[in-house]
Amino acid sequence: MPDDNNPIPHWQRQDLPPMLSRRFEFETYSETRRFLDGVAELAEAAQHYPNLSFGKTYVSVTLDADGKKVGPDLVALAQQIDSLVAGTP
């Protein structure tokens, strides 16, 4: 059931270990690269380095809470990453 109060409905939450993850799909390699560059900028600004797996047209982002509970900082970073693909479902 969708939770209207969930700020990051497209992300999977995992508890053990605590992390957030989302897979993004793109039409072209250049879109994929642009997204990766955007994530890199956000990561540097937040000083939090996601684990990313990507191929030509997909990127899987994992935000690791470093053993702590998933907190507001991590959720905020997930929202910023979402905003890179705003308009895309």
CB of 63 to a copy of itself, least distance (A): 11
CB of 26 to a copy of itself, least distance (A): 12
Helix (H) or strand (E) holding 33: helix 29-46
* Contact positions vs a copy of itself (CB under 8 A): 29, 33, 40, 44, 49-56
CB of 35 to a copy of itself, least distance (A): 13
Tell how many helices (H) and how many strands (E) occur in the chain. 2, 4
Which residue, among 54, 62, 66, 58, has the nearest Cα to 81 in the 3D structure? 62
Q: Which is nearer to a copy of itself, 34 or 68 (CB)?
A: 34
